[in-house]
């Protein structure tokens, strides 16, 4: 193994540490298996010499008992070994998956923009599954087979050391090709796991976008796309299988060379009287039985290579350093008053700058509206307040405190967000609203729903608040979903409120109602409102007009109308009649 692979493997093994006693138990079981194998080989000598040749009838009657007794002992040992080690394997899988999940939850939005959901899912489900066998399971296999080999080797030398020397010239021959095969398997495993990731990504995408597929009638196109990924996966798996399948035959052919030589030489020694028939049988049994562990060890090597391939993909995620995390000296913010300031904030998702030197200030309780054309950077700007991303330059302060110096937890409890994309969990309405504040009582949840004008339609549902809004909330209308998201934000009761197109899916009537609720909600909170409909932002204390990531103009509705800028143009377009 290369040193890098060795490190990966060592790291894998650290996951077995909590399960040491299970592994020890498995090893004890495997020693029982080894003992029976070695005893079988050595019992060939009395069997041949004393029974077959010397015809000892008393011993003949013992044979069935010995066979059955040994089988029971071996069976029991194997059971203990298998059960102990398989459960260890599963426990390790569970640990790795938990680690991987909690680590990925800590990664920033930047990571998720770069990596597809399907890819992440594949790593957590498939790669962990593949790497699992190597951690403890394979290790015990390796140890058992090594013990068997050592035992049988001693047994072979004990029977006839000359013959044994001949046999062991041949064994190493098998190891060269075996290691080449192992390396190939690792390489192709890694590539096939990557393709499996792509496959999962396609799946994930098409199931969540099924409505678009249906609307555009692109089922056939998607099927072809899936089949192509599926085929790509098969191609890599086939290569792995090719090497895997070649492994055993190669060993067997090389083994036959040894066996041929041994029998030729061994029979000569029996005929010349140097050893007894029993010695030859015991020896032959030892050597023949040895090829099984050798074959298994090579399989183990293949398995380890495969696991390392997958483990590298898993560790890649675990080693990803979250670029947004608490500083060691991060402060816990209490409930803030809600003064939000941007000081010459510039931001780019990649190289292309999206926000240029934005400076603004929102006093506690103020309503700041952001208007501007699509793509001008409104969502990006408010996203920076929640630290989805950190700006490349400049600083954002809440109550005069740079938000990068506060703990993420305490920052987020101070912010409630109703996003442009209304995401609801596959859970009850009650729990979806309660997501705003986990410890809210049922009464508080219902009150929040009432304030968001969501209670009416919720109560009309057969199960009311307990209704499950199925996968992605398909059973609710856009406006209903939005109101649940608003209720969630109301429940959060945070001093800073961000409404990104929060009422865009509502009709004029329900918007007017929700506006009233929001007006209540906005009292004593610093609110950022983004809306295309100017009627929603007219009453803001301050309106920022954004264009191409720059603040074009700031003022109240009346002030802005007085100037003939972008705001005037937008206004005229919306209120032409």
In the complex, the residues that contact ligand ATP under the rule CB under 6 A are 113, 349, 354, 374-380, 420
User: Which of residues 525 and 550 has its CB atom nearest to ligand ATP in the complex?
Assistant: 550
Site for Mg ion in 412-451 (CB under 5 A): none
Q: What residues contact 526, with CB distance under 8 A and at least 6 apart?
A: 338, 339, 340, 362, 363, 364, 365, 366, 368, 495, 496, 497
Work out whether the CA dihedral 537, 539, 544, 547 comes out positive or negative. Answer: positive
113 binds, among Mg ion, ligand ATP, none (CB under 5 to 8 A by kind): ligand ATP
Complete DSSP assignment for 368-431: EEEE-STTSSHHHHHHHHTTSS--SEEEEEETTEEGGGB-HHHHHHTEEEE-SS----SEEHHH
What's the min distance (Å) between Cβ of 215 and Mg ion? 23
Q: Which is nearer to ligand ATP, 380 or 413 (CB)?
A: 380
**What residues numbered 64-83 form the site for Mg ion, per CB under 5 A?**
none
Contacts of 498 (CB under 8 A, 6+ apart): 382, 385, 386, 415, 416, 417, 418, 527, 528
User: Choosing among ligand ATP, Mg ion, none, which partner's interface includes residue 178 (Cβ < 5 to 8 Å by kind)?
Assistant: none
Q: What's the closest the beta carbon of residue 376 comes to Mg ion, in angstroms?
A: 9
Task: Output 302 or 422, the one with its CB closest to ligand ATP.
Answer: 422
* Three-state DSSP state, 19: helix
Among ligand ATP, Mg ion, none, residue 376 binds (CB under 5-8 Å by kind): ligand ATP
What is the tally of helices (H) and strands (E) in the chain? 21, 12
Q: What are phi and psi of 350, to 5 degrees?
A: -120, -115
CB of 104 to ligand ATP, least distance (A): 17
Q: Does 379 bind Mg ion (CB under 5 A)?
A: yes
Shortest CB 319 distance to ligand ATP, Å: 23
* From ligand ATP, Mg ion, none, interface partner of 483 (C-beta below 5 to 8 A by class): none
Q: Which is nearer to ligand ATP, 142 or 502 (CB)?
A: 502
Binding segment for Mg ion (CB under 5 A), chosen from 128-136, 183-191, 260-268, 373-381, is: 373-381
111 contact partners, CB below 8 Å, separation of at least 6: 104, 320, 322, 323
Of residues 193 and 536, the one with the C-beta less far from Mg ion: 536
Q: Which is nearer to ligand ATP, 147 or 528 (CB)?
A: 528
| Residue number with CB closer to ligand ATP (111 or 226) | 111
- Compute the least distance from the CB of residue 529 to Mg ion, in Å: 12
Other beta carbons less than 10 A from residue 438's beta carbon: 8
Matching residue, tokens 């070994």: 81
Q: Specify the 3-state DSSP secondary structure of 462.
A: coil
Q: How far is the CB of 113 from ligand ATP (least distance, A)?
A: 5
Backbone angles phi, psi at 520, to 5 degrees: -60, -45
Provide the minimum distance between the beta carbon of 107 and ligand ATP in the complex, in angstroms, as a whole number: 14
Applying CB under 5 A, the residues found at the interface with Mg ion are 379
């Amino acid at each position: 193994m290369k040193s890098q692979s060795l490190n990966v493997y060592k790291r894998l093994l650290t996951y077995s540490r909590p399960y040491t006693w299970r592994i020890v138990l498995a090893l004890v079981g495997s020693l029982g298996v080894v003992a029976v194998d070695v005893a079988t080989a050595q019992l060939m000598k009395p069997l041949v010499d004393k029974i077959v040749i010397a015809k000892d009838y008393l011993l003949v009657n013992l044979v069935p008992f010995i066979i059955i007794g040994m089988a029971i002992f071996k069976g029991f040992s194997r059971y203990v070994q298998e059960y102990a080690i398989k459960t260890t394997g599963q426990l390790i899988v569970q640990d790795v998956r938990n680690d991987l999940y909690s680590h990925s939850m800590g990664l920033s939005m930047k990571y998720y923009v770069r990596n597809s959901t399907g890819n992440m899912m594949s790593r957590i489900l498939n790669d962990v599954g593949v790497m699992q066998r190597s951690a403890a399971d394979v290790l015990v296999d390796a140890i058992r087979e090594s013990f068997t080999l050592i035992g049988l080797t001693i047994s072979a030398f004990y029977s006839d050391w000359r013959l044994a020397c001949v046999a062991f010239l041949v064994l190493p021959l098998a190891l060269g090709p075996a290691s080449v095969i192992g390396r190939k398997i690792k390489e192709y495993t890694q590539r096939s796991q990557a393709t499996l990731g792509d496959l999962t990504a396609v799946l994930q995408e098409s199931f969540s976008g099924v409505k678009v597929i249906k609307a555009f009638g692109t089922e056939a196109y998607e099927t072809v796309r899936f089949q192509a990924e599926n085929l790509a996966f098969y191609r890599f798996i086939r290569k792995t299988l090719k090497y895997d399948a070649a492994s055993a035959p190669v060993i067997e052919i090389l083994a036959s060379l040894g066996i041929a030589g041994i029998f030729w030489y061994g029979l000569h020694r029996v005929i010349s009287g140097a050893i007894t028939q029993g010695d030859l049988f015991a020896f032959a049994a030892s050597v023949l039985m040895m090829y099984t562990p050798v074959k298994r060890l090579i399989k183990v090597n293949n398995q380890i290579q495969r696991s390392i391939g997958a483990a590298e993909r898993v560790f890649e995620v675990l080693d990803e350093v979250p670029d947004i995390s608490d500083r060691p000296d991060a402060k816990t913010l209490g409930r803030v008053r809600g003064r939000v300031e941007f000081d010459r904030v510039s931001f780019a998702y990649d190289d292309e700058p999206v926000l240029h030197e934005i400076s603004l200030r929102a006093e506690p309780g103020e309503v700041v509206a952001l208007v501007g054309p699509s793509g001008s950077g409104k969502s990006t700007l408010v996203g920076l307040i929640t630290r989805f991303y950190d700006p490349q330059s400049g600083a954002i302060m809440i109550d005069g405190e740079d938000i990068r110096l506060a703990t993420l937890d305490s920052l987020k409890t101070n912010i409630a967000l109703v996003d442009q994309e209304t995401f609801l969990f596959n859970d009850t309405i009650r729990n979806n609203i309660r997501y705003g504040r986990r410890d809210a009582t049922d009464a508080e949840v219902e009150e929040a729903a009432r304030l968001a004008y969501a209670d009416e339609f919720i109560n009309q549902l057969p199960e009311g608040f307990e209704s499950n809004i199925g996968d992605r909330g398909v059973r609710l209308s856009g406006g209903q979903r939005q109101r649940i998201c608003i209720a969630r934000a109301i429940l959060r009761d945070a001093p800073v409120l961000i409404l990104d197109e929060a009422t865009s899916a509502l009709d004029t009537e329900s918007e007017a109602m929700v506006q009233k609720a929001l007006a209540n909600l906005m009292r004593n909170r610093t609110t950022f409102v983004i809306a295309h409909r100017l009627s929603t932002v007219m009453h803001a204390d301050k309106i920022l007009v954004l264009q191409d990531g720059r603040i074009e103009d700031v003022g109240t509705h009346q002030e802005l109308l007085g100037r003939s800028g972008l705001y005037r143009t937008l206004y005229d377009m919306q209120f032409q009649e």
